[in-house]
Amino acid sequence: DPDGNVRYMGANPNNYVSFNNELWRIIGVFDVASSYGGPIEKRLKIIRDESLGKMAWDSGNVNDWSQASLQEYLNGEYYNTIDSVSQSFVGDTYWNLGGTETYTSASNGLASHFYGYERGTTVYSGRPTYWIGKIGLMYPSDYGYATSGGTTTNRASCLAKELFSWNSSSYSDCKNNDYLYNSSLYQWTITPLSSNSNDVFIVNAAGLVNRYNAYGSSSSASPVLYLLSTVEITGGEGTSENPFTLG
């Protein structure tokens, strides 16, 4: 990506990892801080392979992740279900909360555009531009950069197409060669729309990125977290049958 973070891509790369005695997937290795202005460290970013099910992003329909009901659930009740060893691998992270109003064309809706929006300061009036915590969700750019493209539409062409139009039959190679795509689920992201107080971005079951009301209960949540920089891969092959182990 623009900052040189290393990411897995493709329909089913060998990026499976055992965490909390469950299958998770490594999104990549990212340069992130644990606090505002804190030192940057390289940390593994992982996402639960199976979603936790359908639930509202915020039951009050407010697109502020710092107080969203899903954020509170993930970092409270859900976090407390994670075993103590796995909890010791997880640290606070500085999460960017920038958003956008425009995203439906090739001039404003590419994965690279979203990457910039996420790290920007364009938010709805009064909303925070960052949040410090342990468990979040994927970004629209995570979904976009995870494609390898295919034989009809290669990766470069996918990254030159707005995520809003990845449902097009002409660009089916983009979503179908992206392990973060799920044809049976609408998936929440952490990123808000900046032009109103209640919409956030989702990856829908057709493969496109679009806006959706925060109180919507038809989208699913897959927790995402950053492991501490001291955590390393200790074994395994990264397959679903023999996932990486951590220590």
Q: What is the pLDDT of residues 62-107, one digit of tens each?
A: 999 999 999 999 999 999 999 999 999 999 999 999 999 999 999 9
pLDDT of residue 233: 97
For 182, residues 6+ apart whose C-beta sits below 8 A from its C-beta are 51, 203, 205
* Amino acid at position 183, single letter: S
pLDDT of residue 152: 96
pLDDT of residue 18: 98
Residue 227, phi then psi, degrees to nearest 5: -75, 155
pLDDT band at 37 (very low <50, low <70, confident <90, very high): very high
E strand or H helix at 141, and its extent? helix 140-145
- List C-alpha distances in Å: 224 to 60, 134, 244: 22, 9, 17
Q: Mean pLDDT, the chain, as a whole number?
A: 98
Give the number of C-alpha atoms closer than 13 A to the C-alpha of residue 68, restricted to the C-beta side.
36
* Amino acid at position 4, single letter: G
- Measured CA to CA, the distance from residue 190 to residue 169 in angstroms comes to 27
pLDDT of residue 24: 98
pTM above 0.85, yes or no: yes
